Amino acid sequence: MTLTGKVALITGAASGIGRAIAALFARQGACLVLADMNEAAGRDIEQEITSAGGKAVFNGADVTRSDDCRWLCELAVRQFGGLHVVVNCAGTIRRASVTEISEADWDRTMAVNVKSIYLTSRYAIPVIAGNGGGAIVNIASGWGLAGGPKAAAYCASKGAVVLLTKAMAIDHGPDGIRVNCICPGDTDTAMLRSEATQLGESSDRFLAEAARRPLGRIGKPEEIAQAALYLATEASSFVTGTALVVDGGGLAGSI
C-alpha cells in the first residue's frame, strides 16, 4: 500500500483522524496538500512531515467556501504537479435533537460535513481524471448507517455522505476515479471528547460508554488512517462505492 509519486489533498488535516491520515500518507510517500481552519495545528503537522523528509504544504482553507476549495486543487497542481487522491475528513458535531439544535448549528453541520465534500470534489475530480484517475475517500460515520441519540444533524449529514459517496462512485468510475467512504465508530479524538461536554457528562463516563462494543474499546485515529490508506491505494483497485465500517464491532448487531 504505497503512495509514492502520488499527490493527496486532505481536509481536516490538523487534528484527530485527519492528522493521523496525513502522517501515514506522508510515510507512504505521498506529496500532501493539507487543509484546516486551525492554522497553528496545521502548520505543526506540516512541519512534522517536512522535518521527517516528507513533502507537505498547509493552507488554512475554509472548505465550506467554493473559492477555497478551488484554490486547494490549484495549489496541488502548482506545488506538486497534479492530484491523485482526496480525503474529505473535515467534520463537526453538535449533539442535539431536532427540537434543540439551532438553525445556525444545523446549517453549519451540513456545510462542514456534506457541502465541503461536494465543493472539494467538484474541483478535484477534473484534475484527478486528467492525471489518469485516482481515489476519493470520504469520512462518514457509523451514525451514517444507524441513528444515534441527540445527534440529528450529525446523523443526517453522515447519512448524506454515505449516499453521496455511492452516487459519485457511479458517476466517476468511467473517469478512473474510485470513491469510497469510511464509517468509523467512536475514535479517540478531541471531537469525541467534546461530545461529553456538549451532553453535560463526565469524560470518563462518556468514554466508558463509547467503549461498549465487541472489541471493548474505542478506536485510535491511526486505525482509521490505515483504512484510508487501503482505499487510497491500488490495494483496493476493484473497490468503489462502498462504506467501510471501522468500529470495533459497534454496529455488528444493528445493521
pLDDT of 255 above 90: no
Taking only the tens place, the pLDDT of each residue in 162-185 is 999 999 999 999 999 999 999 999
Computed over every residue of the chain, the mean pLDDT equals 97
Burial class (CB in 10 A: 0-12, 13-18, 19+), 97: exposed
d(CA 235, CA 237): 6
Which whole number is the average pLDDT over 212-222? 97
What one-character-per-residue DSSP string does 183-209 give? Answer: EE-SBSSHHHHHHHHHHT--HHHHHHH
Give the pLDDT score at 192.
Answer: 96
- Region 7-185+221-243: CATH code: 3.40.50.720
On whether the pTM is more than 0.85, the answer is: yes
Would you call 247 helix, strand, or coil by DSSP? Answer: coil
d(CA 192, CA 206): 9
- Is 118 designated active site? no
Taking only the tens place, the pLDDT of each residue in 77-93 is 999 999 999 999 999 99
Q: Which of 12, 111, 126 is nearest to 61 (CA)?
A: 12
Taking only the tens place, the pLDDT of each residue in 123-152 is 999 999 999 999 999 999 999 999 999 999
Give the pLDDT score at 132.
Answer: 97
First to last CA, the chain: 29
Q: Which of 118, 123, 154, 230 is catalytic?
A: 154
